[in-house]
Homo-oligomer: A and B are copies of this chain.
Amino acid sequence: MSDILILHEDQLRQRIHLDAETISVIERGFARLAEGGVEMPPVLSMHMPDVNGEVDVKTAYVPGLPGFAVKISPGFFDNPAKGLPSTSGLMVVLSSETGRVQAVLLDNGYLTDIRTAAAGGVAAKYLSRKDASRAAIFGAGLQARMQLQALRLVRPISEAMIWARNPAKAAKLAAELDGDGLSVRAEPDPGMAASWADIIVTTTPASQPILRADWLRPGQHVTAMGSDQGGKNELDPLSFDRADLYVADRVSQTRSLGELEAALSAGIITDTTEIPELGQIITGQHPGRTAPDQITIADLTGTGVQDTAIATHALAAFSKDHPNA
């Protein structure tokens, strides 16, 4: 009836994981973005206030890849009260040659979780000190767990602290993650956790800063990945003054959806033309961190090129399994 491949969440969970391979896939995606030729339009975002919901649509076309993804990401924030996760959605893969639908990946957001965490791994790989062993994670949700996992794939992380607004959740997550060569504990004082760490990852939906600039110390790397909508803000805008290097996943996105928004509003940043993007660090177009005592910040809002990278990777993996699929 149709040669469109339909893949369900459980199939994708069995086959695609957060590992060195998916980090490499996302790394190449960012590199391609920096090399030029990629088309990545602004995110389509629709808010539905009467049902406390929103939907984002992201896409990117990468010349040379056989397909491109269009991702539909709903967030319905009354879902937890109904026993459902807030986020779900799917990715559609279209042929780069004909535009025909090749596959529908009914992942309920699983591939987004993977590509988002993988981007955190890529940021740490290129911006943190090579000897970084201490991680502070702000937040206690799924990305808190996955960002820590991603860090361990690129840096010799041996200790971690979890801070969350809800201390019980932080304690629960710390207990779950502790072990397997990693010492994890919940820390009720966010300043203590921040100052102690080599790498700080903020993973919250905060609309007021949760990381103060005066907690930062030389040599640290910060990845802020919680903000993906206008009005969200995890980092004290003064962090931009403290940092030696600020890197965006995509400047055109971070200026309206990421941490850059608040820094621009506060007048801490006035000119965005010289801000490097993560892909430019990967390709060497920008030197990135040039000294061990520098403070670096990566601002990740989530990009369509990550979606196209992970979706085409997943599709290739299944096509390999079933060459006639």
Interface residues of A (CB under 8 A from B): 1-2, 4, 6, 8-10, 37, 39-48, 50-51, 53, 55, 57, 59-61, 63, 68, 70, 72, 74-76, 79, 82, 84, 87-90, 92, 94, 96-101, 104, 106, 108
Contacts and interface: CB of A to CB of B under 8 A. Distances in A.
B96 A51 contact: yes
Nearest to A107: B101
Given A44-B41, A59-B44, A59-B46, A94 B74 contact: yes
What is the count of identical protomers in the complex?
2
A48 B75 contact: no
B75 A57 contact: no
Nearest to A96: B51
Given A44-B57, A46-B61, A74-B100, 7 more contacts: A41-B46, A51-B97, A55-B68, A55-B99, A89-B101, A92-B92, A104-B104
A177 to B, nearest CB: 29
B90 A72 contact: no
A300 B217 CA distance: 58
A90 to B, nearest CB: 6
Contacts of A59: 44, 46, 55, 57
B55 A57 contact: no
A104 B93 CA distance: 13
A104 B91 CA distance: 11
A5 B60 CA distance: 27
A55 B59 CA distance: 10
Contacts of A108: 100-101
A89 B6 CA distance: 15
B57 A82 contact: no
B84 A53 contact: no
